[in-house]
Amino acid sequence: MEFNPNGVGQPNGNYFALPYSPEEANVVLLSVPWDVTTSYAPGTADGPQAILNASPQLDLHDPFVKDAWKVGIGTLPIDEGWRDKSAELRELAEDVIERLENGEPEDSPAIVKHLKTINSASESLNDYVYAEAKNWTEKGKIVGVVGGEHSVPFGLIKALSEKHESLGILHIDAHCDLRVAYEGFNYSHASIMYNVLDKIPAVDRLVQVAVRDFSEEEISLAMSHPKIVPFTDFELCEEKFQGMSWHDQCEQIIEQLPKKVYISFDIDGLTPDCCPNTGTPVPGGLTFQEAIYLLKLIAESGRKIVGFDLVEVAPDDKGEWDANVGARMLYKLCNLAYKSNQ
């Protein structure tokens, strides 16, 4: 049956109920249902399925991309084995976190044993994401990761670093994610950007936008590291209060990015009304439209968006709001990444 972009969305196992297989697609979405190291509220392992379920009800017109439904967005099947492994290891992680919060030393035998198991599994997950990403990027696809906690895109960024000699990251997030093995988890959701800078030398610029909840050590690193350019939420708001337009702020942000850009989008970078059930919500942040406008300007700046992730969307049992917002942001990321490569 011929696909009707104006008709009722008919769930078919693909994001947005689009008709493209990964082989036919220009943009391939890899779902990673994993939230083992979440330090506050779990649930983002269910994010990919929730976004998938909510996405068919989106209307497909995009004012920034002509005939957006023809972009060609393909969906890889969600590997439920990783979802099951996440649930199994989450119990160990919660035991580690509880012991640490009760003052038990990190080198106690029980904690060391759990951390060894979790860290080994995290490396296996990274290897899986890397292998999938490398396979599809070598076929000329733009790959986007749908999480899942923020640790999950490491393998994609690593794969892209082997394809592109120089790479910049636009990191939209409430947090800097610059902690070193937070809570003993080598690949913690709170350590993703530290790990990227430490282990992936091709990443030569990290531009952080809307960050507003961080440790003293993290902000010190962000302010002093030669590769990091932070645009904190506090500074952005102060400039707005003094009359600077969001357009001008976006121009300042984009000026710091190289020609090839990876976008790492933590949903908690948005205002909490857009993501009330995310694991670590923080007051403040970008509005939905501010975020889209920034992405649009990047796509129109002559820069290429070579890959992206959308992470930390956590569903609500009572409704689909978080997943609805996540699906809409995912659609924009797909479309604008494609547009930037034309």
For residue 33, give every residue at least 6 positions away whose Cβ sits within 8 Å of its Cβ, in sequence order, or none. Answer: 45, 46, 47, 48, 49, 78, 79, 80, 82, 83, 86, 148
Residue with tokens 């978080």: 322
State yes or no: 150 annotated in a binding site.
Answer: yes
d(CA 227, CA 205): 5
d(CA 266, CA 311): 5
- Identify the three-state secondary structure at position 331: helix
Q: Say how many CA atoms lie within 13 Å of 64 toward its Cβ.
A: 20
State yes or no: 177 annotated in a binding site.
Answer: yes
Amino acid, res. 122: S
- Identify the three-state secondary structure at position 34: coil
Structure tokens at 320: 């689909």
Query: In what helix (H) or strand (E) does residue 118 lie, and over which residues does it extend?
Result: helix 109-138
Q: Is the backbone of residue 210 left (phi > 0), alpha (psi -120 to 50) or beta?
A: left
How would you class 66 by CB atoms within 10 Å of its CB: exposed for 0-12, middle for 13-18, buried for 19 or more?
A: exposed
Q: Which residues pair with 180 in a beta bridge?
A: none
Structure tokens at 234: 């506090």
CB 280 within 8 A of CB 270: no
DSSP code string of 291-328:
HHHHHHHHHTTT-EEEEEEEE----BTTBSHHHHHHHH
State yes or no: 316 annotated in a binding site.
Answer: no
Query: In what helix (H) or strand (E) does residue 306 lie, and over which residues does it extend?
Result: strand 304-311
Number of Cβ within 10 Å of residue 80's Cβ equals: 10
Q: Which residues define the annotated binding site?
A: 150, 173, 175, 177, 266, 268
Q: Which residues define the annotated binding site for Mn(2+)?
A: 150, 173, 175, 177, 266, 268
